[in-house]
Amino acid sequence: MRKNIVAGNWKMNLGYEDGLSLFSEIVNMVKDEVVGNQEIVVCSPFIHLSSLSKLSNTVTNVHVGAQNMHQAESGAYTGEISGAQLKSVGVTHVILGHSERRAYFGETNALLAEKVNASLKHGLKPIFCIGETKEERESGEFFAVLKQQLQEGVFHLSEEEFKNVIIAYEPVWAIGTGLTASPEQAQEVHAYIREEIAKQYTQAIADDTSILYGGSANPGNAQSLFSQKDIDGGLIGGASLKSRDFIEIVKVFNS
C-alpha cells in the first residue's frame, strides 16, 4: 500500500540557526498533533542536513532530504555533493529533476537518469519531479512531455529499483506564481502518471507508487487536492517555511 508523504522544499532559504529552529518546531508539532501514518520529509539546504538528521532521530516519521546531488561518486566537481556524502550525514531522500534545476541549470532527462541511479546506489529515495510549462499545458502537449520525462528519467529502472522512487508532479506554471492546478486537473495528471507506471511495470507497482502534487499547495487547498484518488501528498515550497502552515498540510492525512 502506497504511503502518504508530505515533503517540504526549503529551496535556498534560511540561515543555519533559523533552519534548526524551524525544524525543531516541526518535529515538536509532529509529536503533538500528527496522528496518522503519513511520512514527513524536510529537504533543506546542505548546511542544515547533518544537524536536522540528528534532530529527526527523535520521531520515526520525519525524514531529512537533500535538494540535489551529483551523479559521480567523488572527484573534481567543485561545489557539488555526492550520494555517499549525503548518506554519511543521515539523509534518506533527495529531490531530483525539480523544474528549477531543469530550467536554471540545464538538467536533462539523461543526466537525471544518472542521478537517479546514483541515489539508489546509496540507498537514497529519489523524489523525482516531472511537470509541464505554461506553453506545454496550453498547447495540449503536456501528457507527451510527462511521458518523455518518465521514460527517459526513471523507466530504465528495474521493478525492484523503481519501488524506491517517489514521483512529484509539479506543473511549472504553478510554482511560485500563486496559481494552482484545480483538484480535477491535478487528479487527471496523477491518474495518467499512474497509468504510465502500470504500463511500464505492473498495476501492483503503480498502485504502490506515491505520487505527490508540487504546485503551490497550502493549508487552504491541501484538503481538496489530497482527497483526490491518485494524489498521495505534496512537495511543498513556500508553505514549508512556516511551521504552522506546513503542519496543517501534514494534518490533512491525520486519521
CATH of the domain at 127: 3.20.20.70
Residue 140 annotated as binding site: no
* 96-118 residue pLDDT tens: 999 999 999 999 999 999 999 99
In this predicted structure, what is the pLDDT of residue 155? Answer: 98
Determine whether the annotation assigns residue 216 to a binding site. Answer: yes
The alpha carbon of 254 is separated from its chain's Cα centroid by a whole number of angstroms, namely: 20
State the residue range of the domain holding 104.
Answer: 5-253
237 has binding-site annotation: yes
Whether the predicted pLDDT of 181 surpasses 90:
no
Round to the nearest angstrom and report the end-to-end CA distance of the chain: 16
Residues 133-154: what's their mean pLDDT? 91
* pLDDT over 70, % of the chain: 98
What gap in Å lies between CA 55 and CA 77, rounded to an integer?
30
Ranking 4-18, 127-141, 230-244 by mean pLDDT, the lowest is 127-141
Selecting among 63, 98, 107, 136, the annotated active-site residue is 98
- Using pLDDT thresholds of 50, 70 and 90, give the confidence band for residue 43: very high
Cβ-contact 109, 148 below 8 angstroms: yes
Q: Catalytic annotation on 170?
A: yes
Predicted local confidence at residue 90, as pLDDT: 97
The residues near 215 (Cβ < 8 Å, ≥ 6 apart) are 131, 169, 170, 171, 173, 174, 175, 179, 180, 181, 186
- Active-site residue 98, yes or no? yes
| pLDDT value, residue 215 | 81
pLDDT of residue 139: 86
Catalytic: which of 170, 190, 196, 248? 170
Q: What is the pLDDT of residues 10-20, one digit of tens each?
A: 999 999 999 99
238 annotated as a binding-site residue: yes
**Number of domains, the chain:** 1
**In the block, residue with C-alpha cell 480535477:** 184
The reply to whether 11 sits in an annotated binding site is yes
